[in-house]
Amino acid sequence: MSVHQLYKRLETVGKGAYGSVHKGIDRAGNIVALKIINLDIESDDVGDIQREVALLTQLRDAPNITKYFGCYMDGPRVWIVMEFAQGGSALALMKASKDGCLEEKYVNVMIREVLTGLSYLHKVPVIHRDIKAANVLVAATSKVMICDFGVSALLTTAGSKRNTMTGTPYWMAPEVVQTVPAYDTKADIWSLGIMIYEMIKGSPPHSNLEPFKVMDLIPRVKPPRLSENEGSKDMRDFMAHCLKESPSERLPAEELAKTKWIKSVSKVGTSILQDVMRRLEQAGRRASLAEPLDWEADEERECVSLLFLACSTPLITCL
């Protein structure tokens, strides 16, 4: 049976360096994500795809990782069928929020869930190599998932190191961008710290610079930090544990899960993320109906109230 008989493409939800992603539906009516890679035009070769699929198969039961359902050939195209994240990516949730940033209470819960996924990956051991807001998804159930294993590496032993420069420059650890890179799972921990910075500030450090300039800069400047008014001390301490120049000084995912910042949300369910997902749903409607977002409506109401108060004073003052 061909992949076209098994799955129907509904809409395109994204495109990246490793193919396009579509919302799809199977014969039973279940919504899935369809990652389609055209081997004629993409840089990937069959070996790369086979490695990614083998890794996804191995991670099928991993917590907080997008579930893999199968892989199909369709002429020069490869279809990889995955769990669909109705809530969108953390980046999409940021863009639907005021100033393109997420509030710390949401970031805290998302990072807690990402740590669960990273703990599992790093025990396998697998380096994701591209941890960033765009690669963290939220399902309709509020489940947080790490996605996109196109550049992930399976290490032979937990102590192994990789020596290929890959990932997205702004989130790369200093050891990854060295002339002769050598790194392990601690590179993901650095990227996790940068992702917190990204979600709180709206973009990663040095986002105003060209990628090649950033790669030159990262090993030469001090690790980025947030200022006191940009987040709690516990969050800033957590980031400091991630963003150490020396990989050996960075706390592993299991230890980071025991920090004060993560423990503070131990009893907070992921359902809190429904609040942010509603912003994204509204942003989608707004695109077609030009409706204001929640925070825009609040600001508008506030302005109207202030105007009413001003004009309820004596007329001479208003004039």
Going from the C-alpha of 160 to that of each of 130, 183, 218, the distances in angstroms are 18, 8, 23
| Alpha-carbon radius of gyration of the chain | 22
Of the candidates 130, 148, 184, 188, the residue annotated as catalytic is 130
Residue owning tokens 């669909």: 84
Active site residue 45: no
Residue 190: closest CA among 238, 226, 146, 243: 243
Q: Binding site annotation covers 35?
A: yes
Q: In whole angstroms, what is the distance from residue 71 CA to residue 103 CA?
A: 37
Active-site residues, by number, are 130
Binding-site residues from annotation for ATP: 35
